[in-house]
Amino acid sequence: MSVDIRKELQAGEARATKRRRQSDTRRRTSLALRWLDATHVASRKKNAKVVNPAGDVND
């Protein structure tokens, strides 16, 4: 009986870990895409200054 419970717990933890990993990846991807989009739009504008995450300003 206790072996079954342990297996169920491990399976539940594995599912939770997988779900957490997927949401982290989605969040990082959306942030990166948003930043890329913003820099692209800014660089299309004439004389626009693009600030990258390091804080450097590119003329």
Number of separate domains in the chain:
1
Predicted model pTM: 0.41
Q: Note the pLDDT tens digit of each residue in 24-59.
A: 888 888 888 888 888 777 666 655 565 666 655 554
- Top pLDDT among 54 and 19 is at 19
Number of helices (H) and strands (E) in the chain: give both, helices first: 1, 2
How many angstroms separate the CA atoms of 22 and 12, rounded? 15
- Top pLDDT among 44 and 23 is at 23
Note down the domain range covering 6.
2-58
Q: Are 57 and 51 in contact (CB under 8 A)?
A: yes
Q: What is the pLDDT of residue 43?
A: 64
